[in-house]
Amino acid sequence: MHDHIAYAAGRLRAAETLPGLLAAAIQGLELVERAATALADPSHGPVRPGLDAALTEAGRAWSALSAAPTVQAPDAGCPQEGRGTRETVDALRRFCLQLTSALVAATAHTLDPADRIACLKAARHIARVHIVLN
């Protein structure tokens, strides 16, 4: 999972256009959803409180951003690798913060109000995931 987060974070940093940034952001939101789902699986050990809320907010963030007219289809994900739950939660928490920042920054690159609203709504929801994971 750490490799996926690192890859998604790299895509956010490397995005040079609004469509590229939004594509990286929506892929990152899907990653947050997958990670929260995996972390909420009781077969992996004790479930961290609030993961249901994190999963709900990640879904809402994806839904909000997918309404942006500029969003492009994300690339397919990479295979999953396992690591410790605590490390995964910490990496996911840091990535959520980076994703929130990228979504807010994306609003400066568009004149389309629908893009701005979608980015800000998605940022609000993914910021809530960050809070839950703290």
The residue length of the chain stands at: 134
Triad 49, 87, 31: Cα angle to 5°: 75
Whether this model's pTM surpasses 0.95:
no
Does residue 19 have a pLDDT over 80? yes
User: Would you state the pLDDT for residue 57?
Assistant: 84
Residue 35 tokens read as 């990670």
**In terms of pLDDT, which residue wins out, 41 or 14?**
14
pLDDT 10s digits, 71-130: 744 443 333 444 566 777 788 888 888 899 989 999 999 889 999 999 999 899 888 888
Residue-range domain boundaries for the chain: 2-133
| Residue environment code for 66-101, b if the CB has 16+ CB neighbours within 10 A, otherwise e | eebebbbebeeeeeeeeeebeebbebbbebbbbbbe
The pLDDT of 6-22, averaged and rounded, is 85
- Residue with the larger pLDDT of the pair 46 and 22: 22
Name the residue with tokens 């703290």.
134
Longest Cα separation, the chain: 46
What span, in angstroms and rounded, lies between the C-alpha atoms of 45 and 107? Answer: 39
Q: What is the pLDDT of residues 25-67, one digit of tens each?
A: 888 888 888 888 887 777 777 777 777 788 888 888 888 888 7
pLDDT for 84 equals 66
Domain 2-133: which topology? Ferritin (1.20.1260)
**Structural contact between residues 92 and 11, judged by C-beta atoms closer than 8 angstroms:** no
Q: Burial level of 45, CB count in 10 A (0-12/13-18/19+)?
A: exposed
Mean pLDDT of the 10-18 span? 85
SS3 83: coil
